[in-house]
Amino acid sequence: MYPDSIKSLIECFKFLPGIGEKTAERLAFSVLELEEEQTTFFADSIQEVKSKIHKCKNCNTLTEDELCFICNDDSRNRDILCVVEDTKNVFLFERLGMYHGMYHVLDGLINPLEGINPEDIGLDQLIERIHKEKFQEIIFAFKPSIEGETTALYIKKILEDMDITITRLASGVPIGADMEYVDSLTLERALNDRKEIE
């Protein structure tokens, strides 16, 4: 029913996660209403992002350069390493502006049920880096989940002979949450990890 070029563009938007038929249609039609310079810019940006962006060879954060803006920054604290499951999380922490150490980005988390094993998420590179760079602390900043727990324990085991403090993010009741909407696993964790009020 739609002209072919609109149909193609709808298909393209559906490549993106979380975009279904209806949203793809709405977005495709809204592209038609952009100025010509905008659509040219848009098309070029899609091509460029794909050709220019790659992983930092040290830590896997996405970058246009050989080393990312963190690894390139001499003012960062090189004693502490934050391990994340996705490059987006680096930017998430950087936006907070309160962490000044280094990062390492894994290719996701270990998930045997989905066939994602330790060798699939780039652990070799992480372990090699940890041996080389002599960190004093390693923070696992994975999402609180079975996969996050599994991955953290797996890496901790490999590192057990080394003299490194290994930590994870605190889990618990999110600030501002209504207690009745907090799931039981989170509540259990919050109770176990309770802190003394000083």
Closest by CA to 107, choosing from 125, 94, 132, is 125
Minimum CB–partner distance for residue 93 and a second copy (Å): 11
Instruction: Considering the complex, state which of residue 68 and residue 139 has its C-beta at the smaller distance from a second copy.
Output: 68
Cα(first)–Cα(last) distance of the chain, in Å?
Answer: 68
Minimum CB–partner distance for residue 55 and a second copy (Å): 10
Minimum CB–partner distance for residue 97 and a second copy (Å): 10
Q: How far is CA 55 from the centre of its chain?
A: 13
Q: In what order do the strands lie in the sheet with 137-140?
A: 102-105, 80-84, 137-140, 165-168
Instruction: Considering the complex, state which of residue 88 and residue 100 has its C-beta at the smaller distance from a second copy.
Output: 88
Count of CA atoms in the C-beta half-sphere (13 A) of 160: 5
Instruction: Considering the complex, state which of residue 55 and residue 168 has its C-beta at the smaller distance from a second copy.
Output: 55
Instruction: Considering the complex, state which of residue 135 and residue 142 has its C-beta at the smaller distance from a second copy.
Output: 142
Minimum CB–partner distance for residue 86 and a second copy (Å): 9
Instruction: Considering the complex, state which of residue 54 and residue 78 has its C-beta at the smaller distance from a second copy.
Output: 54
Please, what is the angle between helix 4-14 and helix 21-32, to 10°?
130
Whether the CB-CB separation of 106 and 85 falls below 8 Å is answered with yes
Specify the residue for token string 């794909």.
50
Residues that bind a second copy (CB under 8 A): 1-6, 8-9, 11-12, 15-19, 25-32, 34, 36, 38-50, 52-53, 62-64, 69, 87-88, 91, 94-95
Minimum CB–partner distance for residue 69 and a second copy (Å): 7
